[in-house]
Amino acid sequence: MIIIVLLYEACALKDNDNCHHSITIINIGDFDIYYSISPDVPISAQVLVSNPQFYKIGTHTSKKDRWRNCIEYEFTIGTSFSDGRFEPLDSMKVYIFDAHVLEQELKYKTLRRYDLGLKDFKHLNWKISYPPNEEMKDVVMHPPYRSE
């Protein structure tokens, strides 16, 4: 088991200025959350709850969402949509859900949805916070940003 983990870490794709393979989601809130990153609709509630090791983030912790390809490619070359289209993205959606509601009812209680373009990801240094921090105030999000 240790060898597998070491091999994975050794083979993990490294970020550079032109190619990023991960987005860090930071939960600075006081309860657990689930997240989903998608060009259009979120991952199904059942898939999220069945895979907490990938999608659940505890309070005051963070998780790296790792990508096989450069995330920048999604914005320049293109990505597949749930309806079969393939085209470059103008934005990617990051959904944040209440973990308790999702686990108890298998229903989404969307706490926040960020609509992030490539410029946004670069500005945020590939780190997304929930709740949003001051650095995120100009990002398109629903509900809109309010300073606390």
The pLDDT, as a whole number, for residue 8 is: 47
For 60-111, the pLDDT digits (tens) are 999 999 999 899 988 888 876 667 777 888 999 999 999 999 999 988 899 9
**Distance of alpha carbon 122 from alpha carbon 120, whole angstroms:** 5
Q: Position of tokens 């999702």?
A: 102
Q: Position of tokens 């629903």?
A: 142
Q: How confident is the model at residue 147 (pLDDT cuts 50, 70, 90)?
A: low
- Mean pLDDT within 7-15: 59
pLDDT of 7 above 50:
no
pLDDT of 10 above 60:
no
The overall average pLDDT reported for the chain is: 89
pLDDT > 70: percent of the chain: 89
**Distance of alpha carbon 144 from alpha carbon 88, whole angstroms:** 26
pLDDT of 2 above 80:
no
